[in-house]
Structure 1
């Protein structure tokens, strides 16, 4: 599931736009099961270079500098350079402390490091500054979920789903949180929510799988329907392997779950929610402590 990226300048948007929507199929009917890691687009590297040059050479106001640091942070984040991204988001907030977009990313990075109190504070700041910032509800809900507070995560996921009730990913995240509280109630709500989803949306197959309407192989086979590019294939594999891993985790099969999380990471779809949290999921399954690496950026 791609998160919204707000605040990118028109120039950068033009640089990063990829054209083409023709149907594309993998050359081998079996090869698509193993993700081929995506390379960082040269447009992203070019955007980072241009932003760096502007920040170093141009005479900018504090607000302009903050926006450019934020934009470069988003570029770094999409390339998997999380530490550099976090530094830029912190720089942006020092220059413009009311930047909701930057707080949202900072909250995500705190979540990944297990600094949940700091994450909650960041997402609360987002919603204080921009009450309609819908992805803050998703991200705060995820932080609460990983902090073991599914009871508090559910209201955020409910709010997030109400804003776009036909989004299969929102349906699934609500189910995952509710399942920690009551499998029976979660399944009942999932059944009701699936009825509102579009049958021709590929992602609808994920909640259908959770309901037992599709087998694992049927879900995997659906990934190659109506593909438009190798990137779309990588994105779908990133998603499908994550939610299969979550299913295996619930089935008390941590080894298979970890194998699927490894497949998620192999896609290199860094900006997707599923890729972000796959490593955290693996750490939880292995009983490992999170890094707490964000402490050095306070």
Structure 2
């Protein structure tokens, strides 16, 4: 990694006005955990080429990692000013907007991102969460359903986790709507993906209890306890 950084420095000695090299150096610094230095590299790239949308995007991503959310959104806005079709800039702008509680704005960002990349399960999922925060529960369910469709055939642990979380959040929205049988079905689907998820077992048990299905409720909560203790073993006395 240090050798690569030196290579960029040598390249910049020869061509100090090469905005691509400054951008690439910023990426390397980001990957090395030197976030403030990365931003300085992106700033230099942008001084050389103000419409360099990749540098604006990378700057926004780095600012987000530093918790500077408003500045990150401003950078994503600039990236989108110069490239309207950057679905990732729209998506990550939505992420920052959610963190700031700007749920309407986040939904608008996710909508535009999905117009460009319809099969982005993360955008459907995050959109559903934002809609849920606004208590637009039917729309939230529909968005989470789309996320679930995109993760029907998981090919990685990350996709499986998103599928499980989508089912769990769908269950929560359905619970608020009073659709208890559908809640149980959602938890069943979550557990089909991650059978050791003690939160799903526990919440499933509570809903079964609300329906008066007490034996099933007890069995479900027992599974929750077993799985919880597996993950969080009790110390021996």
Q: Which residue in the other structure is 2:229 paired with?
A: none
With over 3 angstroms needed to count, the CA separation of the structure-2 counterparts of 1:81 and 1:140, relative to structure 1, is: same
Q: Can you list the C-alpha shifts for 1:222-267, whole angstroms capped at 9, x where unaligned?
A: xxxxxxxxxxxxxxxxxxxxxx9xxxxxxxxxxxxxxxxxxxxxxx
What is the alpha-carbon root mean square deviation over aligned residues?
2.7
1:80 and 2:56 equivalent?
Answer: no
User: TM-score with structure 1 length normalisation?
Assistant: 0.52
Gaps of 5+ in 1: 1-43, 222-243, 245-298
Aligned counterpart in structure 2 of residue 89 of structure 1, from 34, 39, 42: 42
Q: Which residue in the other structure is 1:228 paired with?
A: none
Quick check: which has more Rg, 1 or 2?
Answer: 2
With over 3 angstroms needed to count, the CA separation of the structure-2 counterparts of 1:200 and 1:116, relative to structure 1, is: closer
1:206 and 2:161 equivalent?
Answer: yes
Instruction: Select the structure with the greater relative contact order (CA < 8 A; seq sep ≥ 6).
Output: 1
User: Is the 8 Å Cα contact of residues 166 and 198 (structure 1) preserved in structure 2?
Assistant: no
User: TM-score with structure 2 length normalisation?
Assistant: 0.64
Gaps of 5+ in 2: 168-186, 200-237
1:190 and 2:144 equivalent?
Answer: yes
Take 1:178 and 1:168, find their aligned partners in 2: how far apart are those partners? Answer: 15
The number of aligned residues is 175
Take 1:142 and 1:204, find their aligned partners in 2: how far apart are those partners? Answer: 18
Q: Can you list the C-alpha shifts for 1:16-56, whole angstroms capped at 9, x where unaligned?
A: xxxxxxxxxxxxxxxxxxxxxxxxxxxx4432221112213
Q: Which residue in the other structure is 1:176 paired with?
A: 129
With over 3 angstroms needed to count, the CA separation of the structure-2 counterparts of 1:69 and 1:127, relative to structure 1, is: same
Q: Which residue in the other structure is 2:194 paired with?
A: 218
Take 2:145 and 2:32, find their aligned partners in 1: how far apart are those partners? Answer: 37
Structure 1 residue 154 displacement after superposition? 0.8
Structure 1 residue 160 displacement after superposition? 1.8
Take 2:47 and 2:59, find their aligned partners in 1: how far apart are those partners? Answer: 12
Q: Can you list the C-alpha shifts for 1:139-167, whole angstroms capped at 9, x where unaligned?
A: 21112111110111011112223333333
Take 1:209 and 1:116, find their aligned partners in 2: how far apart are those partners? Answer: 28
